[in-house]
Structure 1
């Protein structure tokens, strides 16, 4: 897993989704929410190679289906529109027709091909999309007064408390390639996608098949390794556009600097995923679970997911209770090969279990460590050489309050 210390990767301070060359974005208020921005758009000057990954929930929302179908045909995108407040999910044939109209009107407004438009929605499930307001929002797209990545980031939020954005650069073929991203997500977050939307841009030239492969691989290590509450939603997707405006030699797995590009791409995905986990509904702490010594990559991932998804672990972290027994339980029910007599566990630098047995440690020191905003749990299975990292947050009283009154 790459980190911010990668020498070839340069983080852009206050970088956004429009940091790569040739991209613009904005957001407007069209009446879906009382006063906040609720309709966002992202646009490339030229059609861009594009790729997407989508929720595994069987109830896939209409805009997701429309976008997936178009992208499978065209392999390119030029404009993405997103509305908040209404998910347009479980809305039947009318919902699908509304998503198609949303796509068609956007194409006309922006002067692009219909299949080069992606549509996305997030918000309340089971309510028809108020198309009069959507049409109003589309009519405002591209106006200079509303053009800013900050407006786009705000327009796509639901229960999020902060916007989420990141951009980084890496030199490829002697050219400075930029990768930017924006995301939303706070609740209904669970591995295999969640109520989460993420949009990534780059001015690199990347072959479409390789871009899809890179997105799938990076998603498995980042967006699919986060959880807030164990709920997998209906609208989630990650889309990436590569417009090639830096005019590098097209990247694919055979390019001598492909690994450098992929590391930077995954770095941006990881950063956005961690921002989502940290902003979990009601959360006060970001939790990182690092599993090492696993017999396979799948085993490492599944054990990490089991721990980060455990409500007992999450509540213990919230209460700063160094109850390592809850971590042991999660390891045990992960349904992966485990040798209980070899497992080691640490809370940060504080070793609490060795060879499956408790160590004598200062509980006061453990409690003090768990009061930090960033908590790291380390589990060594000691039966292999694979590792994986998952991210999540603590489970608090405020999470219950937020979701008990979500519709009211």
Structure 2
């Protein structure tokens, strides 16, 4: 099984090479500026070029070895980098010593030649060359290389720190992307599960009503009910639960559902739908009204013996879409109110998964009897 850490890809070669070239370009620029500021001419330009090119090659080898260390083990990477920086610094210091030694000899030769070609000029060593030669006399070759290696060590250690930081950032980015993918997958699964929680009692009751229609010889009503049931389930189960649908289609699907229930309660169920034409294209999560309409039928219509009206209303309120499903059934007892909780939690959780804090829901018993639920979501037109 792939873990989040294992999913992190290694640092691309391109980024590593750019960092290496940038480091050594900075080295070249700083030393060149220093030479211009102190000596006022391009002393050691060829030597710095050789050292910079050699440094790039050494650092690339350093990188290729360091790359083989798993980036998920930061402690191991730091240890290996600290150890590898030492031989790299020694090689760099050796190249630096011989490159600048050769450059100093060439500068000395040019200076002597120029002095010798000028009539009446005393031939003496320039102060810079004398200082350089004095430094060589005072320090052995190995001592000078070791001194330069100490500086080089911190240079390689600095690049290794940058490399490990980039690896860590890449791994962290991969973990965040993987976590986002898992979160999106979990959210999609949650939306699917919540959307497909169609009350099984609806199907059982519908089949019982269908059976009664067949037994009583009401074939036309039975055929219409079968067609409505097939259309309802085909529409509700084939749509993508993570996508929105036009409000007009959502209410049409609820109208289809209520037509099926009207067969069960032909004398007791009245449906009123108040949908302004301007809001028909508003986008809503598919089947978001289904649990609310189911509750209205189950607790508003089936519990009474008198006609009950279920009203579905849509309004625009300050840039938001407000949806209300209410019934005027008998006053509900506390246990009946608690029974509506599953469907209401379903709707609330779907709104939270889809809109976060931008969606709100409010429900409760109506003073005149029955139950009312109001949803408020951002109003988006023609985007679904």
Could you say whether these structures have the same fold, taking a TM-score greater than 0.5 normalized by the shorter chain as the test?
Answer: no
**With structure 1 as the length reference, what TM-score do the two structures score?**
0.20
Q: Whose strand proportion is higher, 1 or 2?
A: 1
**TM-score normalised over the length of structure 2:** 0.21
Higher RCO (CA < 8 A, seq sep 6+)? 1
